[in-house]
């Protein structure tokens, strides 16, 4: 019995260390936490500082369910309206002695733009004064002869001769006055010349209309010929956009249709006008017809001679079937971000969220949104490129 107890105790002692070793084994480490997913573009927010927001001059538009406006696209040349531009030439040979206006200055009709010194004008004024004096003397002599004839003191032959001399002198004076008109003097200036009987060789170059001095080609002291252009005065508040429309597209164009013009030099700005007239002659080389559009230009951003891209909104033409209703936004609101297309939704307080969108049909001005936006959602149009630049900066910072 004693031997069995000892053997049992020995067995128990030998097995104890093994049990202790199992109890001290370290626990299984917990699984490493998974990194939080990186925010998608839906979660990113662009924030502009107040000053940057002010300088960006952002504009907004709402996504709308309506027909996509189809348009006819054409190139256009900008030009002054013919009745709103005038070139002021010297009219008489001479020398430019002064400039009374500056380039870009607004002037009124009749305002003096500059003065010329012209021997020809001086001679014309002297001839007029001489002929006016002769006419006055001849008239007085004719009236005196008529009075003497009534009294039987003078003969009828002398009275007729006095009448002939008066008629000749008056014709000479009228011819001299006509010459002064041709040289640019108005009635008031001729009356003043006749009243004080003083003449000079200074000739005023006057503006023929209200407008702005858009060109000055004369230099003080330079000799000029009668046809030398000195100034160009124009009213730039309205311009013509002359569209070259192919004859095959002409059936879609009507007077009164809205036209939207864009100019590469002015970025995202849009200028609207209406079709004024459609030409009657097809260019034999290009097979195009000029279509003229009057465009408002109150701030003077557009310049005569610029080229523009124009879209005639032909869906407004009578009898044109409208396209089906779609969710539509302005095309300028869509920006490319890698392979994606995004729009920027304002959140308030200078914050904007880029939202990926899937696009469908499009025109030069509008695009259909198939997914990504709801009707009524506001998006940034003008200035969206600035937000895209900010988004690109943030993406570049994260990649670093």
Which residue matches tokens 């004839």?
149
Cβ pair 335, 388 in contact under 8 A: yes
DSSP state of 50: H
**Phi, psi for residue 279 in degrees, rounded to 5:** -60, 160
Question: What length does the chain have?
Answer: 400
At 217, list the tokens.
């080609």
Per-residue pLDDT tens digits for 215-257? 998 888 888 887 888 999 999 999 999 999 998 888 888 899 8
User: For residue 140, what is the enclosing H or E element?
Assistant: helix 119-150
The string of pLDDT tens digits covering residues 363-379 is 767 889 999 999 999 99
pLDDT at position 154 over 80: no
DSSP, collapsed to helix, strand or coil, labels residue 272 as strand
What are 142's two structure tokens? Answer: 């004719």
| Tokens read off for 280 | 């009657």
Q: What percentage of the chain carries pLDDT values higher than 90? A: 30
pLDDT at 35 over 70: no
pLDDT tens column, 292-339 = 999 999 888 999 999 998 988 876 443 445 567 889 998 889 998 888
CA distance 208 to 107: 10
Domains (range + CATH), the chain: 46-68+323-399 (2.40.420.20), 72-81+235-316 (2.40.30.170), 87-115+201-232 (2.40.50.100), 119-199 (1.10.287)
Adjacent-strand bridge partners of 79: 240
Mean pLDDT, all residues of the chain: 81
Is the pTM for the entire model greater than 0.85?
Answer: no
Find how far residue 333's CA is from the centre of its chain. 21
Cβ contacts of residue 153 below 8 Å, gap of 6+?
Answer: none
User: For the stretch 67-84, what's the b/e string if a residue is b when 16 or more beta carbons lie within 10 angstroms of its beta carbon?
Assistant: ebbbbbebebbbbbbeeb
- Report pLDDT for 311: 85
Has residue 7 got a pLDDT over 90?
no
Task: Name the residue among 91, 111, 85, 89 with its Cα closest to residue 100.
Answer: 111
User: Is residue 195 very low, low, confident or very high in pLDDT (cuts 50, 70, 90)?
Assistant: low
């Amino acid at each position: 019995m004693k031997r069995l107890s000892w053997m049992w105790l020995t067995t128990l002692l030998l097995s104890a260390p093994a049990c202790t070793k199992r109890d001290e084994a370290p626990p299984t480490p917990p699984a490493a936490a998974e990194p939080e997913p990186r925010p998608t573009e839906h979660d990113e927010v662009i924030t502009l500082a107040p000053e940057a927001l002010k300088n960006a001059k952002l504009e907004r538009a709402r996504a709308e369910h309506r027909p996509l406006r189809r348009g006819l696209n054409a190139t256009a040349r900008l030009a002054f309206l013919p009745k709103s531009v005038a070139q002021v030439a010297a009219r008489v040979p001479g020398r430019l002695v002064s400039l009374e206006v500056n380039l870009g200055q607004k002037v009124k009709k009749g305002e003096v733009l500059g003065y010329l010194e012209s021997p020809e004008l001086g001679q014309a004024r002297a001839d007029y004064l001489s002929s006016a004096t002769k006419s006055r003397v001849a008239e007085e002599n004719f009236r005196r002869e008529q009075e003497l004839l009534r009294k039987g003191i003078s003969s009828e032959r002398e009275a007729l001769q006095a009448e002939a001399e008066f008629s000749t002198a008056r014709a000479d004076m009228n011819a001299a006055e006509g010459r002064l008109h041709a040289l640019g003097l108005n009635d008031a200036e001729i009356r003043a010349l006749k009243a004080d009987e003083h003449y000079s060789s200074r000739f005023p170059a006057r503006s023929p209309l209200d407008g702005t001095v858009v060109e000055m080609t004369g230099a003080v002291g330079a000799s000029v010929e009668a046809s030398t252009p000195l100034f160009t005065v124009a009213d730039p508040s309205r311009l013509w956009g002359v569209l070259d429309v192919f004859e095959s597209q002409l059936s879609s164009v009507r007077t009164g249709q809205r036209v939207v013009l864009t100019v590469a030099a002015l970025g995202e700005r849009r200028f609207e006008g209406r079709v004024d007239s459609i030409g009657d002659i097809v260019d034999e080389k290009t097979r195009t017809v000029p279509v003229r559009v009057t465009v408002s230009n109150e701030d003077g951003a557009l310049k005569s001679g610029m080229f523009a891209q124009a879209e005639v909104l032909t869906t407004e033409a009578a009898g044109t079937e409208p396209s089906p209703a779609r969710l539509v936004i302005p095309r300028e609101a869509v920006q490319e971000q890698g392979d994606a297309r995004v729009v920027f939704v304002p959140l308030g307080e200078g914050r904007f969220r880029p939202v990926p969108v899937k696009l469908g049909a499009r025109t030069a001005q509008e695009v259909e949104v198939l997914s990504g936006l709801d009707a009524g959602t506001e998006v940034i149009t003008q200035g969206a490129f600035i937000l895209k630049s900010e988004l690109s900066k943030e993406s570049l910072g994260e990649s670093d």
